[in-house]
Amino acid sequence: KSYNGVAIISKHKLTNIKTDLIKDKLKQSRIISAELTYQKKIIQLINIYTPNGNPVDTEKYEYKKDWLDNLVKQLKSMLKKNPNIILGGDFNIIPAAEDVYNVKSFEDDALYRLEIRKKLREMINLGFNDVYRHFHDDKEGYTFWDYMRGAWQKNNGMRIDHFLVSNSMIDKIKSININKDPRGREKPSDHTPIEINLA
């Protein structure tokens, strides 16, 4: 049984759709890309679902590290072909202490381990921007609340879903919003949507 899966739904025509950007020995459906034309620019859209990686002393953690290594390599190659990239999805990475309700509880977690956070930094250093932090320097921006222990009611959340956009695209982003409304409904996802608006 698998819970993996990614999709891109668009009102605009999508071309060059690919689901094999990362060599995945487990053949899990964790990445999809497509191109669309917006204001006469070809924009590369990528949606990802990064492996969780827990427990850290198992093959699941090694799989996560390998998967992220391959993603970084692929992004580096893609930027050379097209500088206009929007990358979004469940990264399963907590970027910094302000992005989780109790950082001490996650210091050795696969979502927050230093070597995992460094993978996100590698992506940003290629020429990407964390859109939420671009607009909100230190504001809480949780996107996930566990179903257990009343996490939603206590606001015990974390920011693990992200939009990264390439340097050439950041000025095209007008705003970003974390829409918490769906998380408060009956039988919700434990994640909530992130919305960006393009100029």
Give the per-residue pLDDT at 189. Answer: 96
DSSP alpha helix (H) spans, the chain: 59-81, 114-127, 131-135, 151-154
CA 23/CA 129 separation, integer angstroms: 25
Give the per-residue pLDDT at 199. Answer: 87
Burial 136-158 (b: 16+ CB within 10 A, else e): eeeeebbbbbeeeeebbeeebbb
> Can you give the pLDDT of all 199 residues of the chain as single tens digits?
467 889 999 999 999 999 999 888 778 889 999 999 999 999 999 999 999 999 999 999 999 999 999 999 999 999 999 999 999 999 999 999 999 999 999 999 999 999 999 999 999 999 999 999 999 998 999 999 999 999 999 999 999 999 999 999 999 999 999 999 999 999 999 999 999 999 8
Task: Find out whether 22 and 69 touch, Cβ atoms under 8 Å.
Answer: no
60-72 tens-digit pLDDT: 999 999 999 999 9
Structure token digits, residue 163:
């939009």
- In the chain, the domains with their CATH numbers are 15-198 (3.60.10.10)
- 13: helix, strand or coil: coil
Model confidence, pTM: 0.95
Exposure of 115 in the CB half-sphere (CA atoms within 13 A):
11
Structure token digits, residue 108:
């050795």
125-157 tens-digit pLDDT: 999 999 999 999 989 999 999 999 999 999 999
